[in-house]
Amino acid sequence: MSRDAPLAAHAVNRRRGKSAGLLAAALLAAPVLVGLAYAIGASLGVVAAANDSQPSLARIARVLGERATWDSVLWTLWVAASATGLAVVGAVAVAVAFRGHARGDRVGRALAALPLPMPHLVAGMLGVWLLGQSGIAARAAFALGLIVRPAEMPPLVYDRLGVGLVLTLAWKEMAFLAIVSSALLATRGAAAEEAARTLGASPWETFRRVTWPLLWRGLAPAVVAVFVFVAGNYEAAALLAPSDPLALPLLVAQRATDPDLARHADAYVASVLLLVIASAAVAAHEWVRARWEPFVP
């Protein structure tokens, strides 16, 4: 009996552990679910409704039927994908170039990580000042005699492709991905790479067949995270994005401040869309993490 007691106690602890863990999970997810519920409720007109409106699906149907909504969604996904892609390229280049323990390596990694605490807002401000047609880059081009008037610079701000926004967000997110990549290389990469090199593989082959497969699997969750951070960001888009197509967070803000009262609640529908995209990303993030994380208890 006394020998079974610790085992039984341990089993009880395990069960309690499971419930406690799931309770923690529920509490963590609850605020988002509550926010989503309220946004859906406001879209239906059940809460936060104007005087003379009835709860109905009409508004949701109208917003989802508008061309502007889907243009927004596609444009936002395009910007998120491009910025993430660029950030990955930059981060991998930095991690591969500066792996190792030499002082140059440490300095390189530290510099790459410096923009990490930069708020999106400040990144957006810098983007406007640097990349505008009359920005610092343009003034440097003028000093070099390359251009005479701002209009001769390629439009990177308020442009339909969102190039300035993509570059700015890629720069900001690169710091985060560089840190993750460096950590991956330091912990997992060294042994395999060394084996490949001693077996005679060239640097490019080592990268292609050993380093990169390792990196992208380990980076995958961080890449999904960066994608959803870029897609949902408001401040940088407010400063750099064009008026048409409108980024989805900007569409939310525009409808919420529309002079026409009837369009206000459209903002809630657009918010629901954003939250749906984010939830899909969360599921993808977890699936990817489960698939490629080597240590799963």
**Window 96-135: residues binding other proteins (CB under 8 A):** 97-102, 104-122, 125-126, 128-130, 132-134
What are the counts of helices (DSSP H) followed by strands (DSSP E) for the chain?
A: 13, 0
| Amino acid residing at 47 | V
- Closest C-alpha to 159, from 225, 237, 95: 237
Q: Using only C-alpha atoms, what is the Rg of the chain?
A: 24
Applying CB under 8 A, does 12 fall inside the site for other proteins? no
- Mind spelling out the 3-state secondary structure of 125-164? HHHHHHHCCCCHHHHHHHHCCCCCCHHHCCCCCCCCCCHH
CB of 296 to other proteins, least distance (A): 8
CB of 148 to other proteins, least distance (A): 9
Residues 126-185 that bind other proteins (CB under 8 A): 126, 128-130, 132-134, 136, 138-140, 142-143, 149-151, 155, 158-160, 171, 182-183
Applying CB under 8 A, does 202 fall inside the site for other proteins? no
Which one of residues 77, 163, 279, 288 is an interface residue with other proteins (CB under 8 A)? 279
Stretch that binds other proteins, among 54-62, 81-89, 212-220, 283-291 (CB under 8 A): 283-291
Q: What is the DSSP string of 53-83?
A: ----SHHHHHHHH-HHHHHHHHHHHHHHHHH
Contacts 24+ apart (CB under 8 A), 54-62: 59/265, 59/266, 59/269, 60/269, 62/266
Which one of residues 7, 31, 54, 294 is an interface residue with other proteins (CB under 8 A)? 31
Nearer to other proteins, 82 or 269 (CB): 269
Residues 41-80 that bind other proteins (CB under 8 A): 41-42, 47-51, 67-68, 71
Residues 217-256 that bind other proteins (CB under 8 A): 225, 228-229, 231-235, 238-239, 242-245, 249, 252-253, 256
Applying CB under 8 A, does 37 fall inside the site for other proteins? yes
277 within 8 A of 230, measured Cβ to Cβ: no
Residue 10: what are its φ and ψ, rounded to 5°? Answer: -65, -40
CB of 172 to other proteins, least distance (A): 10
